[in-house]
Structure formats: C-alpha cells, structure tokens
Amino acid sequence: MTIATQSLPLTFHPFLRFLKTPKGLLLAMLTAMTLIALLDQPFDDAAPAVLSAMAVAAILDVGIIWMLRNEWEFPDGALLTGLIIGVILRPQEPSLVVVAVAAIAIISKHVLRTHWSNIFNPAALALVASSFLFSTGQSWWGSMPTFGPLGLAILLAAGLLMADRINKLPLVLVFLGAYFALFTVASFLERPANVAEVFRTPDLQALLFFAFFMVDDPPTCPTRYQDQVSFGIIVAVASFAIFVYNGAVYFLPAGLLVANAWESGRRQLHGPLRRLLA
C-alpha cells in the first residue's frame, strides 16, 4: 500500500509536467470543453468525428516526422489541430470528409513551412480548403453556443486563462476590439441587419473560440507586443472584408490565413535584416 502510494506521483509525473506546458494546458481545456459541448450534440455524429479527426491527425503527424527525421515525437500539436477541426465542422459531415480535412491540415503543416515554423495555422487552412473541396459547413459547436450564459462564461474563463498563459492577451484583445469596431461602424453605414448576426449567438461564441484558441496559435503569430497589435488588426480587417464582400462561412479562418502570410513574410524579412545589422 505504501509502495503503491509512493509510486503514484512518479507514474503521473510526465503527464502532470505535460499539462503545465501551453500545448498540454490547451489540450486539456479543449478536451474538457468538448466533453461539455457533447452533452447537447448528437453524440453518434459528433464524437466519432472528433475522435477520427484527432486520430488521423496524430497518426499522420507521427508518420511524417518519422520519415523526415527518423525520430518519434508526441503529436500534441496534431491532436489539437484534429480536435479544433472536429469541434468546428458540422457534426453531420461524413466521416471521410472529416478525415480528409484533418489530413489536409497536417500535410500543410509539414509542406508549407519556413525555417521557423509552419506558415499557416493548419486547422484554419484546412477549414478554408474544405469549403471549396467538399462544401463543408461550420457550426463551431465546440464553442457551446447552445449553453447560453453558462457556456459563454466557461469559454471566456478558459480563453482568458489560456491567452494570458501564452502571453498573447494583447493580440486577442486588439483583434476583438478591432473586429467589433469594424462591424459597429458597418452597422451605421449600411443596413444593421446585414451585420447583426456577428453580435449574436452562435456567431459570438464562434468568434471568441476563434480569438482565444486559433488567432493566438504560438507557432504562427508574433511574440512582441507591437507585432501582436499589427497581427490582431490584420486578422480583424481581413475577416471583416471577406464577410462584407463575400459572406463566406469561412471568413474567420480565411482572415487568419491573411495575417499568417503577413507574419511569415515579416519574419523572413526581419531575420536577414537583424543579421545584417548585428
């Protein structure tokens, strides 16, 4: 009894250490939120979609890394990508489509990259691509829009904690401020009904989920505060422009891809410049 009790912390130590990392904390948060959201979703549709997206993303990521570097790496990022895809796509999407979207995300992560990291947020790129390739829908059910104020409170609490933990709170706040400012101005310049939906459920919950768990993806967004401000504004302006002129369901992920491209270009230009001035 004493030996078992003493060995328990040693058994769980690697797991607890993983939970203290940003990816570990985010994976735990999103998993808990997904389990809550599943209580109000068609379980036979939603749960298999999430699990299949995570499984395919993880297996593919492990396989690609093994082929490229001949080493094994725990696929924490791939699990997050699959989970995000699973909770954004409609639960009614065919399993093969969900699997294909997860595969696109992981392949893009390894193909579209620079010396620093992948260029685009893999989940955002795959979601935009799936709209063209498979005409997929996005319900963002993982943001718990059907839970009302309680779901909103859980989303805000988890999101603020995560953004603060990875030091990306300025980015998130600037993005949200610019986003709401643009749509507020638009409501005065044209018919308010044309933009009113972004202020209501489920679009409001989808926006917060997007801001807290996708916009501030560490590998594809800046670290310095001044760069975070620029990045957040670019995401907001690009998303707003796509919504107004296109109205596409993928306007949020597409706006993020524009900012990802800008950030990747900034890194490419500033890297040689810093070496030149050193």
Give residue 19's pLDDT band: very low, low, confident or very high (50, 70, 90). Answer: confident
Locate the DSSP E strands across the chain.
Answer: none
Give residue 9's pLDDT band: very low, low, confident or very high (50, 70, 90). Answer: low
pLDDT given at position 2? 44
pLDDT given at position 277? 46
H or E, element range at 205: helix 203-210
Q: Range with the lowest mean pLDDT among 79-93, 174-188, 220-234, 261-275?
A: 261-275
Mean pLDDT estimate for the chain? 91
pLDDT given at position 276? 47
CA angle (91 as vertex; 86, 97 as ends), nearest 5: 65
User: Closest Cα partner for 230 from 199, 270, 185?
Assistant: 270
Backbone angles phi, psi at 146, to 5 degrees: -85, -5
Region of 120 on the Ramachandran plot (φ > 0 left; ψ -120 to 50 alpha; else beta): beta
- Say which residues have a Cβ less than 8 Å from residue 162's Cβ, sequence separation at least 6: 22, 25, 26, 29, 212, 213, 216
Averaged pLDDT, 150-169: 96
CA 161 from chain centre, in angstroms, equals: 15
How many domains in the chain? 1
Give residue 274's pLDDT band: very low, low, confident or very high (50, 70, 90). Answer: low
Averaged pLDDT, 71-85: 96
* Total-model pTM: 0.91
ω into 202 cis (within 30 of 0): yes
Averaged pLDDT, 232-259: 96
- DSSP assignment, residue 250? T
Averaged pLDDT, 207-219: 97
- Say which residues have a Cβ less than 8 Å from residue 183's Cβ, sequence separation at least 6: 195, 198, 199, 240
pLDDT given at position 4? 47
Region of 139 on the Ramachandran plot (φ > 0 left; ψ -120 to 50 alpha; else beta): alpha
Give residue 182's pLDDT band: very low, low, confident or very high (50, 70, 90). Answer: very high
pLDDT given at position 11? 55
- Say which residues have a Cβ less than 8 Å from residue 17's Cβ, sequence separation at least 6: none
Give residue 272's pLDDT band: very low, low, confident or very high (50, 70, 90). Answer: low
Q: Is the pLDDT of residue 53 over 80?
A: yes
Give residue 17's pLDDT band: very low, low, confident or very high (50, 70, 90). Answer: confident
Give residue 222's pLDDT band: very low, low, confident or very high (50, 70, 90). Answer: very high
Which structure tokens are listed for 153? 């409170």
pLDDT given at position 3? 47
pLDDT given at position 12? 58
Range of the domain at 122: 2-277
pLDDT in tens, 82-130: 999 999 999 999 999 999 999 999 999 999 998 878 999 999 999 999 9
Which structure tokens are listed for 114? 């620079």
